Amino acid sequence: MTELPVPEHGSAAVRPKERGDGKRRRGDVWLRRGMSGDAAGTNGNARQVLAYGFVIAAVLVGAVNIINIITIQHDDPQLGLLAPVIWEGTSWVTILLFLWIPWLAWRVAPPTARPYWRLLLHLPAALIFSLCHVGGFLLLRKLIYSLAGSHYGFGEPFAGQFLYELRKDVFGYVLFAGAFTLLAHLLRREDQGRARDTPWFDIRDGARLIRIPVDDILAVTSAGNYVEFLLRDGRRPLMRTPLSAIESEFASRGFVRTHRSWVVNAGAVTGLTPEGSGDYTVELGGVAAPLSRRYPQALAQLRGD
């Protein structure tokens, strides 16, 4: 069996509904709340913050662990490489494993949002994070040492060693919360810049006005004196206007008339299926629209001829 040294201290596609085949939603709860329905916010930014934060933490904490390994070897050349790698590697793994704790606390009590008394939540959160970190790497180290036929000791006294780790973990916790806040700010600015550059269209559905990016409109179909907008998120608001007016307004934005009752977003087309006699079905994600043989220019445009 390999004898490992004991450390002196711790380390760190469905078809679209035909009109009348289902009950239309006349209200939209998420729209009224300014959200798309994503559990993490209007466009999943919170999940992006966690993903980017995880990558940043993995790189930066890993860099600190490598520096610690070099320092340990410099201070004790006889120790070898294996033990410092185990100590620092288990610390790195458990920090990433429990990174969701500061992220969740940041979601509940972001530093820039009122009421500021909620920031007190970060005190127990930081303690829990440190307990999980220390407990996690202790279990991993004891397991690895046990498999190698050796014994791992955390150092004496335990309370003093834990306070040493706690101070480092609290400092790391603050850095993580600050990184989450900075990432959220940068992602918000990116979304705002993209929104300014995106053409929008106002759909007047009765007394309600729905403002959406033009790119989110898959197709528009005639519905009597109204037109029905088929949106990427599945909504189908109505607007009182002739289809010819929509065709004229959207022609410069990549929309094309494929049928006497349909105008489709050429940029959203995912497939063309021949139906015989020169007709086609235009696939737009989960929406299907007809393409009549009477509109050969539309077929040429959608094919890229």
Q: Please state which architecture CATH assigns to domain 200-303.
A: Beta Barrel (2.40)
Q: What is the pLDDT of residues 52-62, one digit of tens each?
A: 999 999 999 99
Closest CA to 130 of 158, 94, 105: 94
- pLDDT of 25 strictly over 80: no
Residue 280 pLDDT level (bands cut at 50, 70, 90): very high
Q: What is the pTM (predicted TM-score) of this model?
A: 0.56
- Which of 132-146, 179-193, 259-273 comes out lowest in average pLDDT? 179-193
C-alpha span between 205 and 110 (Å, rounded) = 36
Average pLDDT over residues 246-271: 92
Give me the chain's average pLDDT, please.
Answer: 83
Q: Map tokens 């049928």 to a residue.
A: 259
Give percent of the chain with pLDDT exceeding 70.
Answer: 82
**CB 94: neighbour CB atoms within 10 A?**
19
**What was the pLDDT predicted at 46?**
81
- pLDDT of 255 strictly over 80: yes
**What was the pLDDT predicted at 67?**
95
Give percent of the chain with pLDDT exceeding 90.
Answer: 56
**What was the pLDDT predicted at 283?**
94
Closest CA to 255 of 239, 244, 242: 244
Residue 196 pLDDT level (bands cut at 50, 70, 90): low
Helix extents (H) in 76-157: 82-97, 100-108, 122-147
Q: Specify the amino acid at residue 95.
A: I
C-alpha span between 56 and 53 (Å, rounded) = 5
**What was the pLDDT predicted at 112?**
84
**What was the pLDDT predicted at 197?**
58
C-alpha span between 200 and 91 (Å, rounded) = 49
Residue 96 or residue 161, greater confidence: 96
C-alpha span between 233 and 64 (Å, rounded) = 44
Which class for 298: exposed (0-12), middle (13-18), buried (19 or more C-beta within 10 A)? buried
Q: Would you say 91 and 133 are in contact if contact means Cβ atoms under 8 Å apart?
A: yes
SS (H, E, C) 16-45: CCCCCCCCCCCCCHHHHCCCCCCCCCCCCH
Residue 31 pLDDT level (bands cut at 50, 70, 90): very low
- pLDDT of 264 strictly over 50: yes
- pLDDT of 267 strictly over 60: yes
Residue 120 pLDDT level (bands cut at 50, 70, 90): very high
β-sheet bridge partners, residue 239: 227
- pLDDT of 41 strictly over 50: no
Q: What is the DSSP string of 265-279?
A: EGGG--EEEEEETTE
C-alpha span between 21 and 35 (Å, rounded) = 27
Average pLDDT over residues 197-223: 87
Domain ranges of the chain: 29-196, 200-303
C-alpha span between 237 and 280 (Å, rounded) = 25
